[in-house]
Amino acid sequence: MSKRHALGQHFLTSNQVAESIVDLAHITRRDTVLEVGTGKGILTSHLYGKAKRVISVEKDPVLYREAKMRFSGIHNLELEYGDAFEMDVDFTVLVSNLPYSESRNAIEWLVQRKFSHAVIMVQKEFVRKLFLKKGSDRRAVSVLAGYCLDMEQLLDVGKASFQPVPKVDSVVIGMKQKKKVPKELITAVNRLFSFKRKTVRNIARQFDIVIDSDKRLEDLSDGEIIDIAKKIV
């Protein structure tokens, strides 16, 4: 458990919150659901009764073995051991109580995939930055999410709903796919933000392209930043 705690994982213990997350996902009998992080199975136990197929992936070997024993014999539930963000999995709906440390990886992985919608729970501060459209706190992941996803905040979840109790509150967010982008473009956006203190003109010079603008990345729209990244690619 200490390894899982070090990764930023706090286990959801509120069955009411778990039911709410699954309800907000609007899962149908046509859906293949991907759950990232089986954990102790509190979400898993509500998923397989609603979906055509559930693929639940866990990277902690102890938790994976516990889940295999608990959920053995459920015909439409596939338990996988490993890192979901290194797997090529086809799904329509993503549902996850993400470890805080995996939030950025999850968004970067998700915007490369074809899917219908996602419902994930992340740290409240991460949500604040994810929804930013302007300002110095804006991040590359904010641009990628804003460009590729329609997002909304669905549910606030207090720290008392977890064990061990985290220092921060969480938020459940819903996402629908607008666009998907290749890995190369994600890398280019991240490279742009490594120079975010510079003007766009000076950033462009780093990549041997010419852009006549004294604006900074924080002043541009998601689409404008993506257009610059495309020139780099």
Confidence of residue 29 (pLDDT cuts 50, 70, 90): very high
Q: Give the per-residue pLDDT at 8.
A: 52
Q: Give the per-residue pLDDT at 1.
A: 37
Above 60 in pLDDT, residue 7?
no
Cis peptide before 164 (omega within 30 of 0): yes
Residues 33 and 93 sit within 8 Å (Cβ to Cβ): yes
Above 90 in pLDDT, residue 98?
no
Which residues are CB-neighbours of 2 under 8 A, at least 6 positions away?
A: none
Confidence of residue 4 (pLDDT cuts 50, 70, 90): very low
pTM exceeds 0.85: yes
Q: Which of 94-108, 124-138, 180-194 has the highest mean pLDDT?
A: 180-194
d(CA 10, CA 2): 11
Q: Which domains are seen in the chain, by residue range?
A: 2-180 (3.40.50.150), 185-232 (no CATH)
Residues 37-48: pLDDT tens digits?
Answer: 999 999 999 999
Average pLDDT over residues 171-184: 97
Helix axes 140-148, 183-193, angle to 10 degrees: 140
Average pLDDT over residues 87-94: 96
Residues 213-223: pLDDT tens digits?
Answer: 999 999 999 99
Above 50 in pLDDT, residue 18?
yes
Long-range contacts of 227-232 (CB under 8 A, 24+ apart): 228/192, 228/200, 228/203, 228/204, 229/185, 229/188, 229/189, 229/192, 230/185, 230/188, 231/207, 232/188, 232/191, 232/192, 232/207
